[in-house]
A and B are shown apart, each in its own frame.
Chain A
Amino acid sequence: MSGFFDIPSDLQHSWTGLIGLHMREALLPVAAGLLLALPLAQLCGRFRWLYPPVLGVTTVLYAIPSLAFFVVLIDYTGQTELTVMIPLALYSLVVLVPAIVDGVRSVPDETLAAATAMGFGPVRRYLQVQLPIAAPAIIAGLRVATASSISLVSVGALIGNQGALGNLLAAAQKYDRPELAVNAVVTMAVLAILCDALLVLLRILVTPWMPRGTRPRPAARREEISPEGAVR
């Protein structure tokens, strides 16, 4: 009799091992997306003409189903974690660029003018004024990116068992153990909720200056995560 947490040995991981793997595959791309999005958003803020084309290109990228992405990448990066993480990083980038651009743009003109008049150079102004004020919008973007990334990792199961907890879905079919599918879904949901709660906590910690009871504007146009997100 196999228990709820007994993972078939061909997955080569314990349940907690799968969680660790899943988090790595989900969060590293978000971090990479953030690192790429910051300079890109800065450029879009600096050169306004750049923003519409960037938005267009990233929207098209976002429209490519993850499975198609994986298949294309297999030729270059093989059946590895990297193949899963590259598309996820791009999806994070797509969510985060508009979140950062809108957040930075929401800084009132007077505040910017006052900073300039006090002798802030462009870099200092970006780091000390614009980014901190954009923090709530950026964190809202991170929440969307993190939740969608955690769910999308599971698609990696289809390209050589790189789906971490998603591999349990395949195993459930293969070994006729539906409880493994339940385990996968519930664990992923709990992970997503925990990460989201941590990000909310982070926002509260870094924004003591926000009026209580107000929420940051919905950061991204893609706030809504569709139920079929997991099979993109």
Chain B
Amino acid sequence: MIRFDSVTKRYPDGTVAVDRLSLEIPDRSITVLVGPSGCGKTTTLRMINRMVEPTEGTILLDGEDSRKQPVTTLRRSMGYVIQNAGLFQHRTIVDNIATVPRMLGWGKQRARERAAELMERVGLDTSLAKRYPYQLSGGQQQRVGVARALAADPPVLLMDEPFSAVDPVVRKGLQDELLRIQDELGKTIVFVTHDIDEAIKLGTMVAVLREGGRLAQYAPPAELLSGPADGFVEDFLGADRGIRRLSFFPSTALELTTDAVVPADAPAARIAAVEAPYLLVTGPDGRPLGWAERDALTAGDVPAERLLPYGRPFVPGTDSLRVALDCAVLSPTGWAVAVDDDGRVTGVVSQQTIGEAIRAAHTAGRADGEKVAG
């Protein structure tokens, strides 16, 4: 565990970058430091590996003062990923990744094998091994940066706005990849970003810092969204935190109905029995084709081109309530289509039902909160 104990960083000119920060960073999880520029988040990160020395206070690593071990030993035990990757442009990809293992005295062969293994882990083709950084795209370079940080298998990974210089599509890919790698490796990751959405997506715990390096709130993302500590945090979270909070509620409990789901070749009696105004027509493979008005269907087959589009489906259990709600909002009928992992329809659910589920989830959340508080 990394523990900040009333840590202050004051520069000679009197600027306070970090002000009496106390923070406990749990092992094997992603802790995100987020805040506007000038809030001291990068300074905080750099104090962990002593690229910046605290003016006051101590940083404890598993209970031990971080100043007790030699600084290079400390740094080599922590992977570091930086914005724009910061690759060594004069070294090949494989040599970039093998940097720390080589410094730790590994043989050339072993370091290169390890580098190749890591390239695969971060989703890079090993055929890129002999290339130079300029021959890679920004996203690929950032993957190399992550691989390089992981090379000596350090328990701690420090990430300083690693994904902020790539375009949104690439960024999303890198974020998903990081979550996948974290599932496999279980590192203690400290992640700095100015992007609250990134913080909420990646963080197990999120520390919101404000200008002058003061901690505004330290909480799991769902708690941050439901109960911002003050106006600053609320502003920083943005306008639609209610909607975003739905990301943390599973859609498992949604009551699906299959009454309104009919195969394209259903008998007229089956169609006549439906009470809803719209029917979801499915193909022979069970996949959704589109919505039809019930009265139009009784007359017989509705040609595929006259079916209303169903927007996009959600997967109960995998997707959150936010996705389910989004699907319902996108659907022209106001009903969201639920499918299984193979894309076969498992049922439909109305906006109203989703609304009830949201209210139920809120009530449950409050009850939990009271239990914790009591």
A contact set with B: CB distance below 8 Å: 108, 110-121, 129, 132-133, 135, 207-211
Contact = CB atoms under 8 A, between A and B. Distances in A.
- Looking at B73, B80, B133, the one whose CB has the most chain A CB atoms below 10 A away is B80
Contacts of A112: 86
24 contacts: A110-B86, A111-B86, A111-B88, A113-B51, A113-B86, A114-B82, A114-B86, A114-B88, A114-B145, A116-B51, A117-B80, A118-B75, A118-B99, A118-B103, A118-B148, A119-B71, A119-B72, A119-B76, A119-B100, A119-B103, A121-B72, A129-B88, A209-B92, A209-B134
Given A111-B89, A132-B90, A133-B89, A210 B51 contact: no
B18 interface: no
A119 to B, nearest CB: 4
Given A116-B51, A117-B80, A118-B99, A211 B134 contact: yes
Q: Considering residues A112, A121, A129, which has the most beta carbons from chain B within 10 angstroms of its beta carbon?
A: A129
Contacts of A129: 88, 90
B49 interface: yes
B6 interface: no
A117 B82 contact: yes
B280 to A, nearest CB: 52
Contacts of B85: 110, 114
B158 A117 contact: yes
A132 B49 CA distance: 26
B132 A119 contact: no
Interface of B: 49, 51, 71-76, 78, 80, 82-92, 99-100, 103, 132-134, 145, 148, 158, 160
A72 to B, nearest CB: 42
A110 B134 contact: no
A210 to B, nearest CB: 7
Nearest to A124: B103
A110 B90 contact: no
Contacts of A113: 51, 80, 82, 86, 160
B17 to A, nearest CB: 16
A129 B86 CA distance: 11
B77 to A, nearest CB: 9
B80 A209 contact: no
B90 A133 contact: yes
B114 to A, nearest CB: 15
B275 to A, nearest CB: 63
Nearest to B103: A119
Contacts of B89: 111, 133, 209
B84 A108 contact: yes
List the 10 closest A-B pairs by CB distance, nearest first.
A110-B86, A114-B86, A117-B80, A119-B75, A119-B72, A119-B76, A209-B132, A132-B90, A209-B90, A111-B86
A57 B28 CA distance: 56
A210 B82 contact: no
B191 to A, nearest CB: 15
Contacts of A110: 82-86
Contacts of A116: 51, 75
Contacts of A211: 134
Contact of B100 (A118, A121, A133): A118
A114 B80 contact: yes
Contacts of B86: 108, 110-115
Contacts of B80: 113-114, 117-118
A207 B72 contact: no
Contacts of A119: 71-76, 100, 103
